[in-house]
Chains A and B, each alone.
Chain A
Amino acid sequence: MRNYKFIIQPERAFVFRALIAQLFQLPTPLRACEEDSTVELLSGGEMLVRALHESGVEYIYGYPGGSLLHVYDALYKQSAVKHVLVRHEQAAAHMADGYARATGKPGVVMVTSGPGATNTITGIATAFTDSIPMVVISGQVMSHLVGDDAFQETDMLGVSRPIVKHSFSVRRPEDIPELVAKAFHIASTGRPGPVVIDIPKDMTMPNERYEYVYPKKVKLRSYTPPQRGHSGQIKKAVELLLKAKRPVIYAGGGVIIDGSSDKLRALVDRLDFPCTNTLMGLGSYPGTGERFVGMLGMHGTYEANMTMHHADVVLAIGARFDDRVTNATSKFCPDAKIIHIDIDPSSISKTIIVDVPIVGPVGNVLDEMMALLDESNEVPDAEAIASWWKQINEWRQRHAMRYEKNDSQLMKPQEVIEAIWAATKGDAYVTSDVGQHQMFAAQYYKFDKPNRWINSGGLGTMGFGFPAAMGIKMNFPEEMVVCVTGEGSIQMNIQELSTCLQYGIPVKILCLNNGSLGMVRQWQDMNYEGRHSHSYMESLPDFVKLVEAYGHVGIRVTGRDELPQALEDTFNKYNDRLVFLDVAVDPEEHVYPMQVPAGSMRDMWLSKTERT
């Protein structure tokens, strides 16, 4: 325990630090000075908590440990910043992520060194892939022990480097406020992303206090996210849109992140163009809107994929031409001129070469586009657009989203999602895990508002949905928050049922239980002659008993007739309780449409037997 010498003998510690400072020509640390009321002296731990508060933090999701004990002591002594104790650090990251996706504000995670830090990696990667603002505070062993393979030492900066927007290591306690301010600035501006701050324990010593200065403005000479798009490019884009005969607007998560869904709606409605959303963009344009053709891509609607394939002008907004959208890039939208608005220059022409790139914030560019449309004497070619809509409506007639209900009581997953949509009046925050249930939720829950559909789109992280729902519910206690999951995914973070009891977080968990890893099984059915290699979940727990053991309500639904009452109980009778709805669904069901691998946008399976 020799590390504690400095705490026990603060005077000696001060002399030692002053000596070190002199040797290395660092500013001499300030001696604690109670008399001077103009200067506030705080320990590193106190500075961290204060700086988080000044950065607008309400909730920290975390788990304490050795390297962070001074910080947790500082947390204990104040009430401005609330801490939520999770049961596994991965869940802390997903909670912060869910909070960030629903509110648009950075989520904050606090974990100890070593395993605490590494347990957040999946959560950080999830946020990174979907451009979600997050600040992760990780403890670190004492500076002088770094590199010695000390107890609970991990090179967190090294481990997290490929999945963060940026990271900092604290080298002087007095830098903490500035680093925190910088971290929030970087995490939340431009293309948002996670930022890690690694803090060695000796930077937070309670007896070493320094002048606390929170910077009024953050200065970073090498970081200047674009503030507006290039006017010439925007003009070119508008000209192209006005000449279009078969246009489509393809909007992604960037629209939601920028808070520009209203602007997207205004543009779509003004031009009377069809609009499709990516998995991340659902809700940016109303799901029940007349001009909405549904989600596009691998499990997109028939009409969305057909519209994309046959378009002559594609306006991509805050979307990144992901491989789950484009199918084979060489066959993607063969006749289209492509306009791409994105705040990240590296997203442009990464997978698909575009004709009119516009680097800038979505909202600002859309404003400028609208202004140009106002000024212009031209209007879209009404006749061409009308015949384009006629074509699209013919595609809609094919009604590829229909599914056959079973004659037996065993429900199809689609009808359960439709029932949830009706029960929540289409207005819930819906989180999901990853797999078939995620796709069914995306397809059959019509999101009319942005920030309501919360899922791990880019990384595809099972175990994301439940903690994300918790993060949202804590921030919006009056709103309905439903986690759509499967019996596979939910078990990846099920320990958080305990956190929900501690803090009283009444989220609703809808488990589409098909007794197998549905999406894996679907691919095995389609590509491996039905050899279900390790996609069958044997020995599932009795979920009802399990959630009851954690102090919550469990309801099992085995047949169609039981569902209405179960939903009534979930949303009314047990409104203030966590309810786990374990709904048996048909394991044979596949997600359709499904694009044919290596094909174009229009090459799809529409059912087990029907192909385009």
Chain B
Amino acid sequence: MSNTFFKIDWLSILLFTFLIAFGWISIYSTTLTGVESKSYLDLSTFYGKQLLWIVLSFVIILFVLTIESKFYERFSSVIYVISLILLLGLMFFGKTINGQTAWYSFGGFSLQPAEFAKAAVALAVAKYLSGLNVNIKKFKHQLNVFIIIGIPIILILLQPDTGSALVYFSFFIAFYREGLPGFYIWGALAAIIIFVAVLLLGSTITSIFLGLIFFAIIYFKSKQKSSLLKPILIGLLCISFTFSVNFLYNSVLQPHQKARFEVLINPNVNNKSSGYNLYQSEVAIGSGGFAGKGFLNGTQKQGRFVPEQHTDYIFTTIGEEFGFIGSALVILLFVAFLSRILYLAERQKRTFSRVYGYGVFGILFIHFFVNIGMVTGLIPTIGIPLPFFSYGGSGLWGFTILVFILLKLDADRIKLGS
């Protein structure tokens, strides 16, 4: 433990502390209504409870750092299985809130196992990929690792919690680092771009545009006398995907999911119904201006115009009260923290630690990207929290455990050897 104290990455801890502190201030401002008691630890308020979770997370941090770092690697499968059992158990013992059966309820408070499963899956993925004979370039091993993340995805989709399920796709960043063929990533990116293009421009224009691009590529390839088969096949695939977008959009997506795309694409969407959340969110952020309205002074916030403002939409409080300066500061804090995590991951000597580090990065990044993208109206509404900011004990503890296992592994990286 004393070894850990000296070797641990204090810069990460500093950034972590900043994020947690800024997060709590935002929750305090968001949920303070001016009528309740002034005590910060008043457990009938969100900010009081959140402060309690923060204090308890110090206990969890000490616990995580005290355990031998070897433990995480050795028991990763057990931890993984336990988390799957917890997810499965929701079907029988879970508590349903807002249509999602995602919580275990113990008297006064609830736990959300999906938040802890993130760390467990990251450990399991790291464990598998660090296996001596495992090579992610091989299809068989790809399939195995997809199953490792696939099971929790399915269990979470059953709750149903699409947003949390989506988080697990962030492991592709780790897979890519470990050698997953590039077409997974590029193919996914291309599919997303085509999907958006079709929604915005329609399938005819998009396919004509794609056709021109691939025609040019094939023309240059034929001059270089290289194989034409691959570009032709990819081109046909892309164009045929263009025509399946409408089917996907209309038949596969649920009506409420379609509406979430609709509000981004169509500016005339009714601001009172499906467009309400996004509209209120943009108004709150936009009204902050450059310097913000000042701490506790947000008017949109006081009117409770933004739904779920203390959880998924916590960033709107920052936008309204601290303006562009505050919002940019939060983004830069995340950039610094995420970069530091990447740096730590890359300096690990053991594959297990590195893969785990990339897993942590991926999970934090996708939360950051999706959450801020959503509240600023850049991507469709997907309900996942902003790490360290959004209200919720399970989320806070889940992220804390996730980060501090990495810090523990990093502190012991010399001792663990390669």
User: Do the two chains belong together in a single complex?
Assistant: no
